Amino acid sequence: MADEVILLDFWPSPFGMRVRVALAEKGIEYEYKEENLSDKSPLLLKMNPVKKQIPVLIHNGKPVCESLIIVRYIDEVWKHKSPLLPSDAYQRAHAMFWADYVDKKIYSLARQVWLSSGEEHEAGKNELMGCFKLLEGELGDKTYFGDDTFGIVDVALIPFYSWFYMFEQCGNMSIEAECPKLVAWGKRCMEKESVSKSLPDQHKVYDLLMDLKKKFLAK
């Protein structure tokens, strides 16, 4: 029986994008179900009762939650192509360190740049740029964070490339001026079909995030 794969997602979510990229890297066909996070579907509430968040991958009726856990699950189940984690234990640990760093730092700072103002905004913007500079140092002159292989660190971070225009507009900053190698990496990743078909246009993301900001601040 062919695998039934369903992805519960929300198009501007960097976490959902991670899973879209991983599924595309592996060439896995799946059913995409867009969630309205203001009116979550019974399926989402049933499949992720603890966090009630997207993304959720439903594989033959069984839910997998948390984007990086889903990416690792995809890599372990569909081993036939495009490994996302190194086979060497130490290299795998190194990759997971940086994927975890991205996971713990970037989104919370992204929200700070996106939604806050004044000193909190300035602090978020400066700390975010500091993280990008640290990541640029880790990348160095490699093609990808996984060296010649597009791997889990690349998958973890590339979704935020679609938020770069928002960062630059809200933060009044140039990521390219401060982190040219990171921006070049983003452009390189966007040349991969698995990435370009999974990430929305930066301006579309910006327009939606500005819309949502008005709603958040109006509450």
Ligand X SMILES: N[C@@H](CCC(=O)N[C@@H](CSO)C(=O)NCC(=O)O)C(=O)O
Residues lying near ligand X in the complex (CB under 6 A): 10, 13, 15, 37, 52-55, 66-67
Q: CB count, 10 Å around CB of 187?
A: 10
Q: Where are the beta strands (DSSP E) in 46-203?
A: 56-59, 62-65
Residue 7 beta carbon to ligand X: minimum distance, rounded to whole angstroms: 12
* Distance separating alpha carbons of residues 42 and 142, to the nearest angstrom: 44
CB closer to ligand X out of 102 and 175 = 102
Residue 140 beta carbon to ligand X: minimum distance, rounded to whole angstroms: 26
* Nearest residue to 31 via CA among 40, 18, 19, 39: 19
CB closer to ligand X out of 64 and 183 = 64
Given a contact cutoff of 8 angstroms between Cβ atoms, the answer to whether 139 and 145 are in contact is yes
* Distance separating alpha carbons of residues 67 and 58, to the nearest angstrom: 12
CB closer to ligand X out of 9 and 136 = 9
Residue located via tokens 């929305």 = 200
Residue located via tokens 């579309």 = 204
- Sorted by sequence, the CB contacts under 8 Å of residue 194 that are 6+ apart come out as 21, 24, 25, 150
CB closer to ligand X out of 67 and 149 = 67
CB-neighbour burial class of residue 79 (10 A; exposed 0-12, middle 13-18, buried 19+): exposed
SS3 96: helix
For the chain, what is the largest distance between any 2 Cα atoms, rounded to a whole number of angstroms? Answer: 56
CB closer to ligand X out of 143 and 202 = 202
CB closer to ligand X out of 37 and 93 = 37
Residue 1 beta carbon to ligand X: minimum distance, rounded to whole angstroms: 28
Residue 32 beta carbon to ligand X: minimum distance, rounded to whole angstroms: 15
Which residue of this chain has its Cβ atom nearest to ligand X in the complex? 53
Residue 70 beta carbon to ligand X: minimum distance, rounded to whole angstroms: 7
Residue 143 beta carbon to ligand X: minimum distance, rounded to whole angstroms: 25
